[in-house]
Amino acid sequence: MCTGACSKFVAIPLYVLAAVSIICNILLFFPDFETEYAEADRQGMPRITQEVKYMGGFIGGGIMVLIPAIHIHLTSANKCCANRCGMFLSIGFAAAGVVGAVYSLSVSSLGLANGPTCLWKNQFELIPQWGTPFANSNGSYLTDKQMWKMCILPENVVEFNVGLFSTLLVAACVELVLCLIQMVNGLFGCICGACGGKEVRPEQTKGSSMP
């Protein structure tokens, strides 16, 4: 596979992953698919998980990957790496994608480790309170579903957060790998400047048909 075709192979999945990351991050602002929690949080009452506000999926796994994906796709327009300048620039864009993917990966991991913000109550608490009950659990709550019952509102918020943050985590990992591949691919494209050996000129083709 020539480096131009490889760029197309990298760019198309990046479009999908960036879109998935943006959608997941937006959904995380509306636990239980309700807007009341986002509105209350905007008014100064913490109701949205803190890591959601870091916009790891929207900015990191989304915008910072989508822009490199567009440029990387453009380098594959002729299915050849003859455009050395374009391939060289794709290295820098892919590096920006790496930074975005790492940011999304970090925020998603933190979101999973700390758990959601919710109205919670355990056997030692008399009155439910808003907070992050799993912040000091070191992620152990992920394997102990009995702990999930501590969260009263929003309903099913633990499943909601775990599902979306896990999706962001997987998307960020794949984005990271693809951007790293493009950095190597761009380096080869910048050096070789052609995808399958030297291009055959029209004169050469015409001459080869003559006896």
58 has a pLDDT exceeding 60 = yes
User: What pLDDT, in 10s, does the model give residues 59-111?
Assistant: 999 999 999 899 888 876 654 544 667 777 888 889 999 999 999 999 999 99
Q: How many CB atoms lie within 10 A of CB 6?
A: 22
* Helix, strand, coil percentages in the chain from 3-state DSSP, rounded to 5: 70, 5, 30
168 has a pLDDT exceeding 90 = yes
**Highest mean pLDDT out of 2-11, 28-37, 193-202:** 28-37
User: What pLDDT, in 10s, does the model give residues 131-154?
Assistant: 999 988 888 899 888 889 889 999
**Cα 154 off chain centre by:** 26
Rounded to the nearest 10°, the torsion over CA 205, 207, 208, 209 is 90
Tell me the domain boundaries of the chain: 3-208
pLDDT: is 183 or 28 the higher one? 28
Residues present in the chain in total: 211
